[in-house]
Amino acid sequence: MKSTFSVIFYLKRQAVKKDGTVPVMGRITVDGTQTQFSSKLSVDPKLWDTKGGRVTGRSSAALETNRLLDKMRVSINRHYQEIMERDNFVTAEKVKNAFLGLEHRCHTLMQVFRQHNEDYAKQVEAGMKAKATLSKYLVVYKHLQEFLNIRYHVKDIALKELTPAFISDFEMFLRTDKHCCTNTVWLYVCPLRTMVFIAINNEWLTRDPFREYEIKKEETTRGFLTKEEIRMLMDGKLKNAKQELYRDLYLFCAFTGLSFSDMRNLCEENIRTYFDNHEWININRQKTGVESNIRLLDLPRRIIEKYRGLCEDGRIFPVPHYMTCLYGIRAVAKRCGITKHLTWHQSRHTAATTVFLSNGVPIETVSSMLGHKSIKTTQIYAKITKEKLNQDMENLVARLGSIEEFKGCNI
C-alpha cells in the first residue's frame, strides 16, 4: 500500500541562542501527517538555505553540518523503507521513533500467523493437537501469502490494516482464484478469525474487523454406510493382509465412532474394565480434548485382539499413513462392490447413524460417546434412517393401540 513520504530540515528561528545561532529541526511527512524532531544542530541563520535545507559556504563547520544532515536524511529514508517492507503500514511517528531508537514494532498478520503455527506444531508433536488441524492452518497461511502478493503486492500487512474489506477480498480470492465452495471458504476464513482473536486478546488490535462479517455454512448430507454396505465390507474377499488391515481399521472406527487420529493413538491404557465387567475405551479426543467413553462391542473387541501386541510403542494398531489408509479402504470398498466414494470420516458418521442411533441409542448417549461438546454437532452427524423411522412408527402404533381412550372408536 503506497504512501507519500518526505523529510526536510528547517530553522526554529524564534529560539535564538546566546551565540546567535538557531536550532535546526527536522520534519517527517507521511501521507500528509507530520512530526518534528530536533537535529541537535545549530547554525547561523544568515548561512541557511531554506529551499535546500542546508548550510551555505565551504567552511569546515558548514561542511560538517551538511554531512550530518545528509547522514540523517539517509537514515530516516532507510527506516521508512524498512518499516514499509516489514509492516506495510507506516506513519510519520513510526519513522521518527525508529530513527530516534524509540521504535515500538508493529505486529503484523503473517507474523502472528507464523508464531501461531509454530506453537501449534509443538502441541501436535506433544500429542495435544491434531495434525490435520495444523495442516489446515498451514494451507490457509499459504493462501494468505499468495493473496497478499497478488492483491496488495506485499509480503505482510499490519494488524491495524485488517478491515472488513480485507476479509471480503480474501473471501473473493478463495472463491475465484482457488475455486473454493462456500463451506471450504468458511473453513479457511476461520483460521484468519483465530488470528484476529489472538491479536485482540494481546491488545495488538483494538477493533474486530469480523464484527459485521458473516458467512454461513451450507447444510450438506453427511455420507455413511448402510447396514447392507457394512455387511458387504465384512464379507468381501480381499487380496492380502494389507487390505484386511484397512478394512479392520475402518470397521473399528465404524463400530466405536473414533476418528482416524484417535484410533491411531489408541493405547492399552485406554482400554479399561469398569464395574459392569465390560471393556470400555476411555480416551480424550485429540481434536477437542473432550473425554469419550465407548463400550467395546464384540466386533471391535475381536479386531483389537487380532492386532494386539504387534506395536512396540504401546499402541494397539499398526496404522499406516492416513493417505495410505484412505486409498486402501477405497480400493477395498470397490472390491467389495460398494460404489460410494468413501472418506475415513464417514466411518464416524456410520457409527453415529447406522450402528448407534438406528439401534435405539439415545442421541445424548451418542453425543457422549463421540466426544462432542454440543449435541448440535451430533445432530449433524446422526441422520435418521428409514429403518429407524419405521421402527419408531411401529412403536408408536403399538403404544397408541394400547391406550384405552382410543379402543373401540368407530371412525
- Helix (H) or strand (E) holding 166, with range, is helix 164-176
The full DSSP string for 357-379 is: GGGT--HHHHHHHHT-SSHHHHH
Residue 350: partners with Cβ closer than 8 Å, 6 or more residues away:
224, 225, 230, 254
Q: What does pTM read for this prediction? A: 0.56
Residue 1 above 60 pLDDT?
A: no
Taking a C-beta distance cutoff of 8 angstroms, is the pair 79, 100 a contact? no
Taking a C-beta distance cutoff of 8 angstroms, is the pair 249, 328 a contact? no
How far is it, in rounded angstroms, from Cα 56 to Cα 158?
A: 42
In the chain, where the domains are located? 5-99, 109-201, 227-394
Which comes out higher in pLDDT, residue 242 or 402?
A: 242
Residue 381 above 70 pLDDT?
A: no
Mean pLDDT of 56-76: 95
Mean pLDDT of 49-68: 94
DSSP letter at 202 equals: T
Q: Which of 261, 388, 375, 381 is nearest to 326 (CA)?
A: 261
Task: Tell me the CATH number for domain 227-394.
Answer: 1.10.443.10
**22: which strand partners?**
43
pLDDT, position 112: 94
Q: Which stretch of 72-76, 123-127, 281-285, 380-384 has the lowest confidence by average pLDDT? A: 380-384
What are the tens digits of pLDDT across the range 116-137? 999 999 998 887 887 888 999 9
Given pLDDT bands bounded at 50, 70 and 90, which one contains residue 388? low
What are the tens digits of pLDDT across the range 245-269? 999 999 999 999 999 989 999 999 9
pLDDT, position 215: 84
Q: Which of 28, 138, 39 is nearest to 83 (CA)?
A: 28
What are the tens digits of pLDDT across the range 197-225? 999 998 888 889 998 888 887 766 668 89
Which comes out higher in pLDDT, residue 301 or 400?
A: 301
